Structure 1
Amino acid sequence: MYELRGVTKRYTRGKDTVHALDGVDLTIGDGDRLVIQGPTGGGKSTLLQMLGGLDRPSSGEVVLDGVDLAKLPEARLTRVRSENIGFVFQSFNLIPTLTAQENVETALVPLGVKTKERRERAAEALRSVGLGERLGHLPSEMSGGQQQRVAIARALVKQPKVLLADEPTGNLDEGMRDEIMEVLERMWKEYGLTFIMVTHDSSIARKAPRVATIRKGKISVKENTGG
């Protein structure tokens, strides 16, 4: 699925050059579940952005299904993201003036899905995350955990191959964290997704089959017998 070869990302900060990623090599197979950990500023979110085609490396290759995302024209890269990659973020990123169903439908608009099918697929996606009775609710009328379920439904409604999650439980209490992780793990299994998640939460990392740790732009990966 993914093959990263010599991926480097450099930023200029004043007179200094920061190596957010420094020669990262990483293989992620179809259907893998990988947790990414490391200190703040160590390169975790930068790596996730590379995997999602949201940013390009300074050098190296980010190959997804044989295609180097780093070399794609912007229009084609946008298409790959729209069709193949679902994103879930810590801050939910829901549109406050749209209902839960309308928020989920937004993921299907770039794919040219007709209105009737969009509505049906959005409703089904919300039912799959336990929000079948909340289709017409605005984000302000839902708890944080419910809003994150909407965000998960939005990520999955387009039936992507990859789900990327950046601190998806970071704004939730422990009970909501466990609920959201149960939903994400169930979706991973049911959809056969490749699931890659950044988290500071060691209790989540202990349950993952593989854990990648990034420090100062360098990566190490271990198999987790507890996953």
Structure 2
Amino acid sequence: MYQLTGVTKRYRRGKETIDALAGVDLTIEDGGRLVIQGPTGGGKSTLLQMLGALDRPTAGQVVLDGLDLATVSEARLTRVRAESIGFVFQSFNLIPTLTAQENVETALVPLGPKAGERRARAAEALESVGLGERMGHLPGEMSGGQQQRVAIARALVKKPKVLLADEPTGNLDESMRDEIMDLLEGLWKEHGLTFVMVTHDSALARRAPRLATIRHGRVTITENP
């Protein structure tokens, strides 16, 4: 479970101080699903970075399963990201010179399994996203939707507790957007993930049981029917 208390993140922009987050209080239950929406520059990605242990707040607590991500050592944060949190981004972030299988295997390297286990787990993850026949293809040989499926497999191959997605359908057309969201929702249910997604797409936001709207660094929670 995530428990955020008084989370504030300040940046300096010239002589001006900007509060990207301004005293955010938020609870996300294990297995919960939350969509974050808001205007550009409103703090959406900053909040996701806090949840993903990619940045620390200026003030407040970001507690994941009893561990305050705001105060633990950098080494511990790195371990939490490697073991417990999967990331999916708008731009896929695949290594162009590696095959789909090799890209997925990169997520396992920090965890130390032997090469044979890495290959087997990567193959299983790619099968789970419908790419069992594309394992040997390079990113440039695949469509945008297929590349995003590889990125999802890479996020899930380490069997994380949390899946964080930042505009995962932003580079896809409408039909592929719906395919990817159906996949993500199915994997969320199948694996019991805690799933948090940033999107500007209101149609996708309405599919989630909870919506966090963030404006000027402040969060309002809406329960979708």
**After superposition, what is the alpha-carbon deviation per residue over 1:93-126, rounded to whole angstroms, capped at 9, x for unaligned?**
0000000000000000000011000000000000
Deviation at 1:40, TM superposition (A): 0.3
- What's the counterpart of residue 63 of structure 1? 63
TM-score (norm 2): 1.00
- What's the counterpart of residue 142 of structure 1? 142
- What's the counterpart of residue 32 of structure 2? 32
Gaps of 5+ in 1: none
Residues 121-140 of structure 1 mapped to structure 2, 5 A cutoff: 121-140=121-140
Q: Which amino acid aligns with 2:96?
A: P
- What's the counterpart of residue 205 of structure 1? 205
Deviation at 1:222, TM superposition (A): 1.0
- What's the counterpart of residue 117 of structure 2? 117
Q: Secondary structure at the match of 2:70?
A: helix
Residues 167-178 of structure 1 mapped to structure 2, 5 A cutoff: 167-178=167-178
Q: Secondary structure at the match of 2:208?
A: coil
- What's the counterpart of residue 88 of structure 1? 88
In structure 2, distance between residues paired with 1:2 and 1:212: 14
In structure 2, distance between residues paired with 1:10 and 1:220: 19
Q: Secondary structure at the match of 1:70?
A: coil
In structure 2, distance between residues paired with 1:208 and 1:192: 15
In structure 2, distance between residues paired with 1:102 and 1:183: 21
In structure 2, distance between residues paired with 1:201 and 1:8: 26
- What's the counterpart of residue 51 of structure 1? 51
Count of equivalent residues: 225
In structure 1, distance between residues paired with 2:89 and 2:207: 20
- What's the counterpart of residue 75 of structure 1? 75
Deviation at 1:85, TM superposition (A): 0.1
Q: Secondary structure at the match of 1:6?
A: strand
In structure 2, distance between residues paired with 1:101 and 1:25: 39
Q: Which amino acid aligns with 1:88?
A: V
- What's the counterpart of residue 12 of structure 1? 12
- Report % sequence identity: 80
Q: Which amino acid aligns with 2:86?
A: G
Pair 1:107 & 2:107 matched: yes
When the two chains are superposed, the root-mean-square deviation of aligned CA atoms in Å is 0.3
In structure 2, distance between residues paired with 1:114 and 1:56: 33
- What's the counterpart of residue 161 of structure 1? 161
In structure 1, distance between residues paired with 2:114 and 2:187: 25
Q: Secondary structure at the match of 1:36?
A: strand
TM-score (norm 1): 0.99
- The structure 1 segments of at least 4 consecutive aligned residues displaced by more than 4 Å after TM superposition are none
